[in-house]
Amino acid sequence: MNILLLGYGKMGQLIAELSESRGHSISAKINIDNRDELNSLDPATIDVAIEFSQPEAAVENIKWAIERGIPVVSGTTGWLDQKPAIEQLTIDKDSAFFYASNYSIGVNIFFKVNEFLAKLMNETTGYTSSIEEIHHTAKKDAPSGTAITLAEGIIKNINELTNWNLSEGANENEQSLPITSKRIDPAPGTHIIRYSSEIDDIEITHTAHSRQGFALGAILVAEWIQGKKGVLSMDDFLSF
């Protein structure tokens, strides 16, 4: 499989290393300094694009690939207000677009545990919910895409919650789920779901020990997406 890397930071470098160890080839490594090299690439020689760039570059990178019929596996967060347009472009071009806020298999299991717990807590009174996420200082967006996905899973299942907010202190709006974002090196990513009452706290936590789980998950999806069409997600890949 020939892989185009759109974004060649720490994640892109790890994806390249793991891809080659699995017998794949890297067609090109594109970042902000050499984006003009896209014009010299032959799309027919590229099997998939894996996009882990920056929020300000993600949309144009994804469009470039989809318009040329190259399946895209994207993991960049912080641009999702434009995701509906990308999904429509995918349909119009009869291409394939896969987005996940987190490609770790463990995190995607955590998403399901989070939703199950929220359903239980919806039937319980006296608890307030919150999310805390911790990442390295190089992460630009806050809250993390993973935290937003977790928040959406809670809001969908707890009737009194209508939205989430980025919070640094006490939550004054009982209908809004507070998310606290911390940037501490070298944390690859920790997410804590907390339900607090006067009697006790209930917490579930996912802690990543390295970026390897994220990178490997993206490669596995890139292998899986071959021959597929449409807008796809981790639910499709894992058949939840």
Going residue by residue through the chain, which has 240 residues, state the pLDDT in tens, using 9 for 90 and above: 999 999 999 999 999 999 999 999 999 999 989 999 999 999 999 999 999 999 999 999 999 999 999 999 999 988 999 999 999 999 999 999 999 989 999 999 999 999 999 999 999 999 999 999 999 998 878 999 899 999 999 999 999 999 999 987 656 678 999 999 999 999 899 999 999 999 999 999 999 998 899 999 999 999 999 999 999 999 999 975
Burial of 146 (0-12, 13-18, 19+ CB in 10 A): buried
Q: Residue 61 and residue 12: Cα distance in Å, rounded?
A: 14
Closest listed residue to residue 139, CA positions, set 99, 189, 69, 92:
189
The three-class DSSP label of residue 162 is coil
- φ, ψ (nearest 5 deg) of residue 209: -95, -20
SS3 content of the chain, % helix, strand, coil (to 5): 40, 25, 35
Residue extents of the structural domains in the chain:
2-103+212-238, 105-207
Residues constituting the chain: 240
Look at residue 156 in the predicted model and tell me its pLDDT.
97
Task: Give 192's strand partners.
Answer: 132, 205
Look at residue 138 in the predicted model and tell me its pLDDT.
86
Enzyme catalytic residues: 135, 139
Q: Domain 105-207 belongs to what topology?
A: Dihydrodipicolinate Reductase; domain 2 (3.30.360)
Q: What does the CA dihedral 224, 111, 101, 225 come to, rounded to 10 degrees?
A: 10
Task: Give 163's strand partners.
Answer: 176
Q: Domain 2-103+212-238 belongs to what topology?
A: Rossmann fold (3.40.50)
